[in-house]
Amino acid sequence: MATSCTQKHLIRWIQLLLKCTIFLSLTAAAVSSRLFSVIRFESIIHEFDPWFNFRATKYLVNNGFYKFLNWFDDRTWYPLGRVTGGTLYPGLMATSAAVWHGLRKIGLPIDIRNVCVLFAPAFSGVTAWATYHLTSEIKDSGAGLLAAAFIAIAPGYISRSVAGSYDNEAIAITLLMVTFMFWIKAMKTGSIMHSTFAALFYFYMVSAWGGYVFITNLIPLHVFILILMGRYSTRLYSAYSTWYAIGTLASMQIPFVGFLPIRSNDHMAALGVFGLMQVVALGSYVKSQVSWQKFQTVMVVSLVFLLALGISALFALTYFGFIAPWTGRFYSLWDTNYAKIHIPIIASVSEHQPTAWPAFFFDTQFLIWLFPAGVFLLFLDLKDEHVFVIAYSVLCSYFAGVMVRLMLTLTPIICVCAAVAISKLFDVYADFSYFFSSSSAEKPNLSKRDRIMTLVTKLTVCGSFLAYLVLFVHHCTWVTSNAYSSPSVVLPSRNPDGSPALIDDFREAYYWLRMNTAEDAKVASWWDYGYQIGGMADRTTLVDNNTWNNTHIAIVGKAMSSPQEKAYDILKAHDVDYVLVIFGGLIGFSGDDINKFLWMVRISEGIWPDEIKERDYFTPSGEYRMDAQASQTMKDSLLYKLSYHRFPTLFNGVEGIDRLRGQNIRQVDIGNLDYFEEVFTSENWIVRLYKLKELDAMGRDLHTKGEFDRGSSRGIKKRVAKKPLLDVRV
Amino acid sequence: MVPKTTPKKADVASSASKFSDTISASYKAYCKQVSGDRQLQLIDTFCAFLVAVGVIQFLFVCAAKDSFPLNAFLAGFSACVGQFVLLVSLRMQVVNSFMGISPQRAFGEFVLASLVLHFLCLHFVN
Amino acid sequence: MRVVGVFRNVVRTLFMAIAVMPILTLVEAKPAFGSRTLVIYDQRLTELDSYSTFFNSLKERSHELTYRALGNDSTPISLFRGEDRLYDNLIVYPVRSRHFNKQLSVENLLDFFSSGGQVLTVTSPEGLSDNIRSFLNQLGIYPSPRNYYVNDYYHGDENNTLYLTKGKSLNDYVVSPGDYNLVYKGAAALLDNRQLIIPVLQAPKTSFTLDSKQSNEEWTIGSEGYLAAAFQSLHNTRLAWVGSEVFLSDEFSASNGRFAEELTKWTFGEKAVLKSVGFTHHHASGASYLESPYKVKDSIVYEIGFSEWNGSSWGPFTSDDVQFELRMIDPYYRITLLPSETSSDAQYYTTGNFSLPDHHGIFTFLVDYKRAGLSFITEKDVRAIRHLANDEYPRSWDITNSWVYLTSIYSVITVWVLFVVLYLSLRKPKTVETGKKNN
């Protein structure tokens, strides 16, 4: 009827309006909740890895894409240099540069730093939109809106996409959701166009993040499960084959990925499922033409044959070296102790540690218990796209439990499943249409008491879930504000009188380095700080966070663990001018080099087990101490001397109190520093810079020279000439 | 013993005959499907051509014992494989069109995807 | 009597001057780096007149001599005014005065030496002050202590004097080769095995150094002792030590004269002084690094020019063992440079065209010329050698293997175009009979 038509129209318009408003407010919430650190401190790039991305983006903006693609960075990994153009994922930088150029074209010349800082919040809005579409495909637009709301403010995602966290994940999660959205659409309709889009966004994802391997394995897994469930259909064939063919070919265009898709074991699953898909297509075609019994024998025979062929081919190719075996990172996902023994570098990164239980709640609050409920509800439906969500959830839950870092990939699917659960709940309990329906024919006969009870139950349930949602928002905002908005370059602290103070030692030291050293000075430090030194101080570094060359890092580790003379020789051979050390003993900063020292020892022991032994750095009773009981190797090591040089002078000259470790450090253990001289120490002694002394012009070794200088300043006059013990002169 | 082997032989013989029966039956059904439809014949000839080209490239690599330049080989081979897969998807839609996608739209998507594929192959082969 | 003595002195000086003049008039020598010379001597030990030959030859070589006598006063001797040296060369005669240690400390001597001041120290068993001894010990020269004389029953007499008939210099650049008859009376030194030390005159195999007053352990036995030693620091500052003051005196100038003169010429930078006039490197085609940064396997040329001080000006220095190193921690290449062109003040050497290694990285272009007796020359340039850009690899149509693949791709594309055309012309929807399952 006419009225119901216009009513439907009106309803549709109201729905559209509501959706738009909700989306706008979601985007506003997503962006604004990520801006805490910008408001509190300033618009600065956080952490370590984003500094490299920022430097790369600056280079791209200044020099153009051709030079960026072929960039040979001679200011990192001295003297090896780094072929950066071929060893990074350019998606993030290219996108930022495109945004920067685009803004300039429309007359808004925003500085590249601000573009980079605000990049992640901007893209979080896009993630919300993509999640909305994905969840609408799974269930309906109501669930989609809920999922978008959750992903907009979930701390698990915010932790890596806060303003200033200019890291690959900022764009990668967005692309992940978009790719999955297109994949689900393609799989449901069989449309080649959607598959192509899925493949192109997959290519974009490959260019942006190394975690693209997750998509490479999840989609084939999904297809494989569907085939096993007997849900093969021509739509599935069309979707997957198109996606694989175009996606893999496109992913090989990225220089960093190169031939990995056909060479590494990580990608073999996708290839295997592709082959399997062709076989299944052929088999299903044959099956449609002949009777079941005849088909059965053919199927069994061919299946056995193909399985044997596939597995033997895989093993043969791996054995002969055509396909690289599983990488160490992959092993460490299954065997959590593998990395500690075999690859200390991977084990030493704090983000690679297993996740603690509270982290799940901290990052997702009540979504974490809605998550299994959502998965179960999807099980009840079990359409093809629900299989995808279930596979994603199960796989990702395992990985998120193994590595803290992968919590980020679990968060989107938690949001989706939780949204499905709540949406189903609201479908039932928020359905007040009974009370508003006008025609009596629609009202079933219920007693008044039943009607009131239904109303009360519905109101209670809705009310309690609304309260949960409000608490969720509250929790997310609190977590974002307190835990994830720290730039980690500037540290907040309190003065003795309680007023807030900033610890800005890092920037102070890097700026000193930038202003007071030669432009081509080389700085040796532990690899954690490489990117920051390159980004803020603009000096050549020996090793940085890219950690692509373990031996080079081990050289720096060996220099830090060896006595002064040996360390001097090692560093001089690499043309090092300055050494940078982080020391937290005065103020209690726990991320300092002495706490990381054992990793330096372990990594260098991996290369030189005869010269460096981890046992030597512990006390005889096995403790890791810095005071009088420390082992002599520990006291002789360069890092000990550089960290504690002049430390007791802050106290009484004889002994200093290391506040972080709670131990007393004696001047007599620290000894004299003959080969290095201190050039800068920051305000709270967090960053200390030392310069290598020049070789003595008179050919004395610097220790003798140091002894002589000290002796002469004490004014000891030697009256008696003793015959010296000299090596025979050849 | 004698009674045991004969049933086995019979089994093997029957499964072998079943196998050959199946193959011949499916071949006959295929011929019937294709006989009237020029579109399907066109698609199938193109597919056969692609398979031939792909096999030629693969044999070339085996004969030359050297896959240099690998990117060119992969580009050529994936052109064949990718095009083949797209063709089969198109064929499936011609035989039985998917829900919500008209045959014209299917063909349009096929053209789009093929163009993307060709561009990628040319870029890859340098 | 006194007139006769003076007359005898004058005649002797004239005779010396006539004898030595031919040598002097040939070369008008002057030091390369400065000629303000300070002579410190102890009045009780040294008579300046007995060194007139020596001082006259110095004056001939354009030295401006300033004399400082040490006696009983203890006013400090200042070698610096602020940061600048007041003198370029320093000659210290044996000193016995106790106050000398306070007048000139070891640190001042080390500062003077490391800031470029050349030093000639003459010590003797009677005059070896602590500051000079400590200074020499820091350089690795350990002269024998007070009252230790070097003796030799085969080449000397009971007066602690040594007569060396076949004295040889151990380094050709310091003192030119040849047999010298030398008269020596004084101390011998032990030298440590630093490469910066250049021994000049070795004690005979049959010599020994003993305390003449007490019976103590010998200081040196045989040829482990040295009678004259030289030192060149990494900054090319030179020092020479002679353990006998009579070595330079007029009395023995007939025999020791030439040796002493060459030693002092070397010490004060009048001979065997080298410098580099600069280096260049560029592509073999002439393009510089700034125009087109180096990449792997490029063809490069490196050139450097060496000059030698010939007493009055800089001239070319020819040698066949100058080497060029291309280093990244360890040398990748070591190429002996060939002489290319000569100019009035330098000899240029070139490597010829060589191709850079196949490994990208940051390399040092290094010439490190260190020969004992000659000035040290080090020229370093650190440059990045990049990898091949993505469009510097051979294109696909240049590789024969890839023609197969190119043809296959183009054939696929052309057949596809054909296919699309044909397909569109066949747009006839046909309902397909679903295959029956009762086959």
Counting Cα atoms < 13 Å in the Cβ hemisphere of A698 gives 24
pLDDT band at A308 (very low <50, low <70, confident <90, very high): confident
What is the distance between the alpha carbons of residues A49 and A46, in angstroms, rounded to a whole number? 8
Give the three-state DSSP class for C294: coil
Q: Which of B49, B66, B75 sits opposite C415 (nearest CB)?
A: B49
The yes-or-no verdict on residue A547 having pLDDT over 90 is: no
Nearest CA to CA, how far is C60 from chain A (Å)? 31
Alpha-carbon gap, residue B56 to A209, rounded angstroms: 36
Cross-chain residue pair A79–C361, CB shorter than 8 Å: yes
Inter-chain touch B92–A238, beta carbons under 8 Å: yes
Q: What is the pLDDT of residues A331-349, one digit of tens each?
A: 666 666 666 666 666 666 6
Number of domains in chain A: 1
CB pairs under 8 A between B and C: 89
DSSP codes of every residue in C333-390:
EEEE-EEEEE-SS-EEEE--SEEPPSS-EEEEEEEEE--TTSPPEEEEEEEEEB---T
Structure tokens at A187: 């799989």
Please give the full DSSP string across A125-175, using - where no structure is assigned: HHHHHHHHHHHHHHS-HHHHHHHHHHHHH-HHHHTTTSTT--SHHHHHHHH
Q: Please list, in sequence order, all residues whose beta carbon lies within 8 angstroms of the beta carbon of residue A152, skipping any fewer than 6 positions away.
A: A26, A27, A29, A30, A33, A124, A125, A127, A128
Q: Do C114 and A290 count as a contact with CB atoms less than 8 A apart? A: no
- Asked, for residue A395, whether it belongs to a domain, the answer is no
* Mean pLDDT, residues B87-114 taken together: 85
C329 within some domain? yes
> Which of C360, C357, C353, C356 shows the shortest CA–CA distance to C338?
C353
Which tokens sit at A413? 């699917």
Structural domain count, chain C: 3
Please check whether residue C390 lies inside any domain of the structure. no
- Chain B CB contacts of C397 under 8 Å are none
* Domain residue limits at C79: 2-267
Q: Which of B30, B92, B101 shows the shortest C-beta gap to A237?
A: B92
What is residue A718's predicted lDDT score, i.e. its pLDDT?
Answer: 61
Q: Do C437 and A291 touch (CB under 8 A)?
A: yes
The pLDDT > 90 percentage for chain A reads 43
Q: What is the mean pLDDT of residues A434-447?
A: 60
Residue A105: Cβ-neighbour burial (10 angstroms; 0-12, 13-18, 19+) = exposed
Dist. CA A282–CA B91, nearest whole Å: 13
Which has the minimum average pLDDT: A432-436, A680-684, C394-398?
A432-436
Residue C346 in domain: yes
Give backbone dihedrals phi and psi of A46, rounded to 5 degrees, phi first: -95, 175
Tens digits of per-residue pLDDT, C339-350? 999 998 899 999
Question: Which pLDDT score is estimated for C11?
Answer: 60
Q: Which of A47-61, B52-66, C82-96, C195-209 has the lowest mean pLDDT?
A: B52-66
- Determine the residue of chain A that is closest to B118 in CA distance: A246
Task: Note whether C28 contacts A: Cβ–Cβ < 8 A.
Answer: no
pLDDT tens readout for residues A476-516: 999 988 888 888 888 888 888 888 888 889 999 999 999 99
Whether residues C401 and B83 touch (CB distance < 8 A) is answered with no
> Are A72 and C384 inside 8 Å of each other by CB?
yes
Contact A301, B16 (CB under 8 A): no
State the nearest Cα–Cα gap between A272 and chain B, in angstroms: 15
Whether residues B66 and C401 touch (CB distance < 8 A) is answered with: yes
The residues near A220 (Cβ < 8 Å, ≥ 6 apart) are: A240, A244, A269, A270, A272, A273, A274
- Where are the alpha helices (H) located in A190-267, listed in sequence order? 192-208, 212-228, 234-251, 260-263
How close A539 comes to chain C (CA, Å)? Answer: 15
* Cα C6 off chain centre by: 44
Q: How far apart (Å, rounded) are the C-alpha atoms in residues C308 and C272?
A: 7
When CB atoms are compared, the residue of A290, A291, A726 closest to C190 is: A726
Where does the pLDDT of residue A46 fall: very low under 50, low under 70, confident under 90, or very high at 90 and above? Answer: confident
Touching check for C101 and chain A: CB below 8 Å? yes
pLDDT at A699 over 50: yes
Q: How much is the mean pLDDT over chain A? A: 87
Same domain for C329 and C222, yes or no, is no
pLDDT at site C439: 42
Is C426 in Cβ contact with B53 (below 8 Å)?
A: no
Which two three-digit tokens encode residue C224? 């482990």
Q: Which of A314, A308, A344, A350 is nearest to A328 (CA)?
A: A344
Asked whether the beta carbons of residue A79 and residue C130 sit closer than 8 angstroms, the reply is no
Least confident interval from A204-218, A702-716, C196-210? A702-716
Q: Is A363 exposed, middle or buried (0-12, 13-18, 19+ CB in 10 A)?
A: buried
* Cβ proximity of A705 and C233 under 8 Å: no
Q: What is the mean pLDDT of residues A288-301?
A: 70
pLDDT of A651 over the 80 cut: yes
Spans in chain C with pLDDT lower than 70: 1-28, 427-439
C380 and C308 in one domain?
A: yes
Which own/partner contact pairs does C99-103 have at CB distance under 8 Å and 24+ positions apart? C99/C70, C99/C72, C99/C73, C99/C74, C100/C42, C100/C70, C100/C129, C100/C131, C101/A717, C101/C129, C101/C130, C101/C131, C102/C74, C102/C76, C103/C70, C103/C74, C103/C75, C103/C76, C103/C77
Termini Cα distance of chain B = 67
CA distance C231 to C192: 12
Query: Could you tell me if residue C438 is inside a domain?
Result: no
Cis omega (within 30 of 0) on the bond before C143? no
**pLDDT at position C25:** 45
Answer with the one of C244, C267, C290 that is the final residue of a domain: C267
Q: Are residues C39 and C54 in the same domain?
A: yes
pLDDT at A445 (0 to 100):
63
Q: Do B39 and C426 touch (CB under 8 A)?
A: yes
Same domain, C250 and C279: no
| Together in a domain, C420 and C368 | no
The SS3 of residue C298 is coil
Listed residues C267, C298, C323: the one ending a domain: C267
Residue C430 falls inside a structural domain: no
Chain B residues within 8 A of A286 when measuring between CB atoms: 22, 26
Q: What was the ipTM of the complex prediction?
A: 0.88
Q: Which residue from C396, C404, C412 is facing B126, i.e. has the nearest CB? A: C396
Question: Which position has the token pair 């060359």?
Answer: A549
> What is d(CA C251, CA C86) in angstroms, rounded to the nearest whole number?
32
**Residues near B4 by Cβ (< 8 Å), separated by ≥ 6?**
none
The minimum CA-CA distance between A270 and chain C, rounded to whole Å, is 24
Residue among B32, B75, B111 whose CB faces C405 most closely:
B75
Distance separating alpha carbons of residues A128 and A152, to the nearest angstrom: 6
- The residues near B43 (Cβ < 8 Å, ≥ 6 apart) are B87, B90, B91, B94, C423
Q: Which two tokens stand for residue A226?
A: 């569907």
Cβ–Cβ under 8 Å, residues A131 and A147: yes
C-alpha–C-alpha distance, residues A292 and A297, integer Å = 9
Domain check: are C199 and C328 in the same one?
Answer: no
Distances (CA, A) of A623 to A615, A619, A627, A633, C48: 10, 5, 11, 14, 71
Q: What is the pLDDT of residue C435?
A: 43
- Yes or no: say if A615 and A561 are a contact pair by the CB < 8 Å rule: no
Cα A206 to Cα A242, A260, A294, A354, C117, distances in angstroms = 17, 12, 45, 26, 65
* Residue A677 within any structural domain of the chain: yes
Geometric angle at alpha carbon C275, from C269 and C279, rounded to 5°: 175
Is A698 a member of any domain?
yes
Model pLDDT for residues C394-439, shown as the tens digit of each residue: 777 777 777 888 888 888 889 889 888 888 887 655 444 444 444 4
C231 lies in a domain? yes
Q: Are residues C57 and C106 in the same domain?
A: yes
- Contacting residues for A519 by C-beta, under 8 A, at least 6 apart: none
Provide the H-helix boundaries in chain B: 2-35, 38-64, 70-95, 103-125
- Give a yes or no: residue A616 inside a domain: yes
State both tokens at A18: 């509501």
Cβ(A525)–Cβ(A541) under 8 Å?
yes
List, in order, residues 6 or more apart from B5 with CB less than 8 Å away: none
Q: In the listed set C353, C385, C417, which residue is the last one of a domain according to the structure? A: C385
Q: How many other CB atoms sit within 10 Å of the CB of residue C233?
A: 19
Q: How far is B1 from chain A (nearest CA, A)?
A: 26
Proportion of chain C above pLDDT 70, given as a percent: 91
Nearest CA to A570 out of A588, A557, A584 is that of: A557
- Give which of C226, C233, C362, C393 to mutate to test A binding, by max A Cβ within 10 Å: C362
C interface test, pick of A72, A73, A290, A574 with most C CB neighbours within 10 Å: A72
Is the same domain home to C102 and C184?
yes
pTM as predicted? 0.85
Residue A708 located in a structural domain:
yes
* C-beta separation of C374 from C172 below 8 A: no
Question: Contact, C349 vs C335, CB < 8 A?
Answer: no
Closest Cβ opposite residue C384 in set A81, A290, A695 = A81
| CATH number for A687 | 3.40.50
Chain C residues bordering chain B (beta-carbon distance below 8 Å):
393, 395-396, 399, 401-402, 404-406, 408-409, 411-413, 415-416, 419-420, 422-423, 426, 428-430, 432-433, 435, 439
Co-location of C78 and C194 in the same domain: yes
What are the tokens at A177? 């959701």
Contact A162, A38 (CB under 8 A): no
CB pairs under 8 A between A and C: 107
Alpha helices in A574-624 (DSSP H): 593-607
Neighbours of chain C (3+ CB pairs under 8 A): A, B
Whether C142 contacts chain A with CB within 8 A: yes
| Domain assignment present for A665 | yes
Tokens for C386, please give them.
């990049």
- Residues in chain C with CB shorter than 8 Å from the CB of A698 are 110, 113-114, 138-139, 196, 233-234
Whether C437 is in a domain gets the answer no
